Chain A
Amino acid sequence: MAAIAGGAGIGDSVVAVTLAVVAEQESKPQITGSTTALSSAPCYRGPAINAKQIQCARQTLAKNALGIGLDVAGFIPGENLAVTVAQVGIGTVSAVNSAANGDSTGAFGSIAGLQLAALAPVAKSAGWGVAKSIPGIGTILNVGLTGRDLYNAYNDYQSCLAGH
């Protein structure tokens, strides 16, 4: 700028302005430095996120494995003795799980439910109308509760990732 004020030629003044701009840019090295630091950051964040994902997946599995396992077992096809035994088994595990967690409603519900599941084939052979529909009712309940458990598992995983 001093060169322009001193009455020098146009070529000299252009060189002087260019030099001034370059000097101004060189006087802010910290901005360039921080940009470089940001661009290298994802290289370090990647493995940390993966470790967190694995940890959250394990945590979610530990919390929801029993519920989802019981739901999956409820989808065993057929209506023979093996299925009845499986349903009674699910009821027993469910009753123990509810009792262990202090849930008396769940424990009593499971005990009543396993008795119903065990009596269903007998009632059906006796020709009781409602008993014929017990497998259908069971399937409807199982589908609904599987949807709920999968949604809960997804929610647990997301809240773990969010750090809650």
Chain B
Amino acid sequence: MIEETKDDKPSQVVTRGWALLAMLCLSPIFFLSIYLGHVKEGVGAWICTGIVLLTAKTHWDLRKHSWYWTVVIFALLIQIPFVLFVPWDNRHLSFVSLLPMGVLDYAIVYGSFKLAEKLMSKADRSST
């Protein structure tokens, strides 16, 4: 399990169990893609949405700001290249093979949240 450190609030802690539950809740994306006949894109969309959800969870204490939800929408939009261009249908790829891609995607979304947070706190300071 991902251990809670001193600077983490309970709402921001992401465990393996939480990730499993999130993927279970997002599974309709996968089943819908099977129904529509786009399984490759469906698997990608399922995984990428899970990563956005995981990152959003780590910044959950900022959910009352409107920019938080703007970043969530932006993060969902930047998943489109990942969904379309990563070879999700390659049977030789295990989760370890796709870990670099997953970490890169997470880093981009995480960076977007951090950047927005910095910009907004600067704007707040300058207005006061």
Chain A residues within CB distance 8 Å of chain B: 67, 70-71, 74, 77-79, 87, 90-91, 93-95, 97-98, 101, 103, 105-106, 109-110, 112-114, 116-117, 127, 129-130, 132-145, 147-149, 151-152
Contacts and interface: CB of A to CB of B under 8 A. Distances in A.
B72 interface: no
Contacts of B23: 139-140, 143-144
Contact of A142 (B15, B54, B95, B101): B95
Interface of B: 1-3, 5, 14-16, 18-20, 22-24, 27, 30, 34, 39, 43, 46-47, 50-51, 54-55, 58, 87-103, 106-107, 110
B43 A133 contact: no
Contacts of A87: 96
Contacts of A90: 94-96
A144 B16 contact: no
Contacts of B101: 109
Contacts of A110: 93-94, 96-97
B98 A145 contact: yes
Contacts of A141: 47, 95, 98-99, 102
B54 A140 contact: yes
